[in-house]
Amino acid sequence: MMLATVFDQSVPIEELPCRTDPELYFAESPDDVEFAKTLCLSCPVRSACLAGALERREPWGVWGGELFVQTDVEERAVLEEEVGALRGLEH
């Protein structure tokens, strides 16, 4: 899935928090990971980012405010429910 199809076209891609320091979202430091997750909280495309990461089965990194570390099937099911809830709040 391409970046443009995941994200809301009304949001300039260069203004997304993850575009300023992309390496932060793949950091090894727990403090950096928590900071990246915090930046995601105010991101206007958070739920789309998380949904896209789940669909692509991203193996690791911070996506939509959630940390992926070889996420297993059970954890993915919980995240998918959370995405559905987030999308319900957006409308």
pLDDT digits (tens, 9 = 90+) for 11-57: 688 888 899 899 999 999 999 999 999 999 989 899 999 999 988 98
What does the buried/exposed string (b/e) look like for 2-26 if buried means 16 or more CB atoms within 10 Å of the residue's CB? eeeebbeeeeeeeebbbeeeeebbe
CB contact set of 79 (below 8 Å; sequence gap of 6+): 50, 54, 66, 71
> How many Cβ atoms sit within 10 Å of the Cβ of residue 85?
10
pLDDT at position 90 is: 56
Task: Give the least confident one: 14-18, 22-26, 64-68, 83-87.
Answer: 83-87
Q: Which amino acid is at 82?
A: E
